[in-house]
Chain A
Amino acid sequence: QVQLVQSGAEVTEPGASVKVSCKASGYTFTAYAMHWVRQAPGQSLEWMGWINGGNGDTKYSQKFQGRVTITSDTSATTGYMELSSLRSEDTAVYFCVRGYNLGSHRPDYWGQGTLVTVSS
């Protein structure tokens, strides 16, 4: 069965960076993409970016362009999302979501989420 297991909660200070990992299993890692989506407390889902699992191509939301870096390690079947220059508004639950390399690119299976708290 498809499983996405994310790293644990993080507490960090304004101006710092955070890197969240997402270990995938139950499917061929390179045949699928990975999205990153965040959800601030009480707010809606917000798409951040996507990485093609086969060739490593990335796309980012303009809102996060320049601050977010999405990578993957195919040998470890793990995806990563790094967000820099953190501010209090970045406090949110961050999800990795399996997606598709082509066609709809739709997100389907979700990780459990990682709470990132930005506070001084």
Chain B
Amino acid sequence: QSALTQPASVSGSPGQSITISCTGTSSDVGGYNYVSWYQQHPGKAPKVMIYDVRNRPSGVSNRFSGSKSGNTASLTISGLQAEDEADYYCGSYTSSSTLWVFGGGTKLTVL
């Protein structure tokens, strides 16, 4: 099982907003503002969408936003578009012997 817990799937209609959660512990998500979110389309390499909880890399749409409360981080996608349909993974720095951990991934379906 993955170190961080994500819902297996979420869905939404075009134009709507969805939120994906990512729950860890005080050793990872809760202890540091070092959470990233990655988007992966089938057969492609992941792409970073959010880093350090809420920062967007250059070129990423402002429809993507991140936040954190306690041991749970969240990714919100507003104004859903067909091209947003993909798998989304959270990742976090961890103070355990492992440096970085990923979530189990969430499949986003745009209805």
- Answer whether residue A79 sits at the interface, using C-beta atoms and an 8 A cutoff: no
How many of B's residues come within 8 Å of A, CB to CB? 24
| A112 and B45 within 8 A (CB) | yes
Main secondary structure of the interface of A (DSSP, over half): loop
How far in angstroms is the closest Cβ of chain B from A2? 11
| B51 and A104 within 8 A (CB) | yes
- Answer whether residue B52 sits at the interface, using C-beta atoms and an 8 A cutoff: yes
- Answer whether residue B41 sits at the interface, using C-beta atoms and an 8 A cutoff: no
Within 8 A of A (CB), among B51-82: 51-52, 57
Task: Give 20 pairs: A residue, B residue, CB < 8 Å, sorted on A.
Answer: A35-B100, A37-B102, A44-B105, A45-B89, A45-B91, A45-B102, A47-B98, A47-B99, A50-B100, A59-B99, A61-B98, A104-B32, A104-B51, A105-B99, A106-B48, A106-B100, A107-B100, A108-B36, A108-B48, A111-B45
| B36 and A106 within 8 A (CB) | yes
Interface residues on A, range: 20 to 34
Residue of B nearest to A112 (CB): B45
Within 8 A of B (CB), among A85-117: 95, 99, 103-113
